Structure 1
Amino acid sequence: MEIDPTEVVNFDDEEETTATSKEKSRNQLNSYVAITVALLATFMGICQVKGDNIVQQMQQAQADKIDYWAWYQARNIREEIANATVVQLQLQANSQPPAARSTYQKQIVAFQQLARSQNQKKEELRAKAENEQKKYDKLNVHDDQFDLSDAFVSIAIALFALTSLLQKRWLFGAAMIPTAFGVFMGFTGLLAWDIHPKELTKLISQTPPKTEAELKLTSNYSSARSQF
């Protein structure tokens, strides 16, 4: 049996062409992965800076709220003391001769004014504390947006690494799903959009249930606070 040299050459050319095509496809996929990961890393860096600023604002709002409630309680105590003093002076005035009652009456009026002043300042502090809580809650929404963005972009980068390793184009398409959602949530945080997937946030940031002692402590704190 004779071997045609031209057939051997053609077969070698086909193998070389196939290998070249596969190498080209591999390089192209790796290029897509590298560019996408570089863009995602840059986007994550920008979101990280904005997220850190939001966390600092949340900490400041929380500290201001605690200060306002502390001052609220102090004003409330002063008001209660002033009201109690008014009652005491009124009782004492009733047992005094008419000539001495005018002095008591002046003190009663002064403490009544003090009580009203403390009540007014107390309510102003309550409003400020509640505003700081609203500010904290609003910032927390944007913080959750950045957390979701970071989580899904990290998942996407991991899938891109598998794509480059296994050379599976369908993995690249699968990685684009968390990429799209992560980038979208990042933009909602950067642009301060009011989009907050609560159920997904709860799933990711779910905390363990409180112990009986923690629940009792929380209940006691709420009861004490309601008295003010």
Structure 2
Amino acid sequence: MKAHEASENVSEVHERGAKRVALLIATLAALLAIIEVAGGNAEQDAQKSNVDAANLWSFYQAKTIRQTVLRADADRLELDLPAMAPERQEAARKLVAQWRADIARYESEPGPTGGEGRRELVTRAKAAEALRDLSLAKDDMFDFASAAMQLAIVLASASVVVGIGWLAFLGAGVGAVGAVFAILGFVAPTLLHF
């Protein structure tokens, strides 16, 4: 009778351990799902910010080209002024003045959307690049967290299959490391550099 009770006791302990490991695996899988979504969002944010920065730098280049062409045309027209008939000189001076005003506007044109002058475009492009870099750092942290969670699930699953309890503890430890990376991804993605 005692052997039968001991056998039931061992079976009950094994069953409780298996349930705990199953709960650990379920928790790790749920965290993995959250981390994967956050990582996907960070990757999308990085791509959007990269496109925004590229567009702003292209706009900056277009403004620079326009500014350069107008400056060259204004300089050329000013050089031609003495050779012009007096009645055309006044119209040419007005045109040069308008071009110089446009050149100044291309350099700095503050506005409600952040401005579209060269100075404002540089500021906006650098802000988009900073946001891109932050999103990439988040994505890196979430990638590390995801890898750790996947490894933790494999270790915990293996502990059930082969019956080695310390693998479940190792899986929980690796899962905790993954959770730390996930937290860093949310609150301090630039804290660690790899």
TM-score under structure 1 length normalisation: 0.74
Q: How many residues matched?
A: 186
Aligned pairs for 1:189-208 within 5 A: 189-190=185-186, 192-194=187-189, 196-199=191-194
Aligned pairs for 1:111-126 within 5 A: 111-120=99-108, 121-126=117-122
1:149 aligns with 2:145: yes
Residue matched to 1:161: 157
- How far, CA to CA, are the matches of 1:100 and 1:79 in structure 2? 24
Seq. identity, %: 22
Is 1:145–1:196's contact at 8 Å kept on the other side of the alignment? no
1:27 aligns with 2:15: yes
1:136 aligns with 2:132: yes
Deviations 1:125-148 (A, max 9, x none): 111111100011111121112111
Is 1:29–1:167's contact at 8 Å kept on the other side of the alignment? no
- How far, CA to CA, are the matches of 1:41 and 1:96 in structure 2? 81
| Among 24, 32, 57, the residue aligned to 1:36 | 24
Is 1:66–1:129's contact at 8 Å kept on the other side of the alignment? yes
- How far, CA to CA, are the matches of 1:17 and 1:188 in structure 2? 49
Structure 1: stretches of 5+ with no match in the other structure:
1-12, 200-228
TM-score under structure 2 length normalisation: 0.86
Alpha-carbon spacing, 1:195–1:64, altered in 2? closer, same or farther (3 Å): closer
Deviations 1:174-208 (A, max 9, x none): 11221111112222334x33454322xxxxxxxxx
- How far, CA to CA, are the matches of 1:44 and 1:81 in structure 2? 55
1:85 aligns with 2:73: yes
Question: How well do the aligned residues superpose, as a CA RMSD in angstroms?
Answer: 1.9
Rg comparison, structure with higher value: 1
Is 2:81–2:89's contact at 8 Å kept on the other side of the alignment? yes
Residue matched to 2:63: 75
Structure 2: stretches of 5+ with no match in the other structure:
109-116
- Amino acid in the other structure paired with 1:173: F
Is 2:184–2:191's contact at 8 Å kept on the other side of the alignment? no
| Among 35, 45, 48, the residue aligned to 1:47 | 35
SS of residue matched to 1:197? coil
- How far, CA to CA, are the matches of 2:156 and 2:52 in structure 1? 44
SS of residue matched to 2:84? coil
Is 2:43–2:139's contact at 8 Å kept on the other side of the alignment? yes
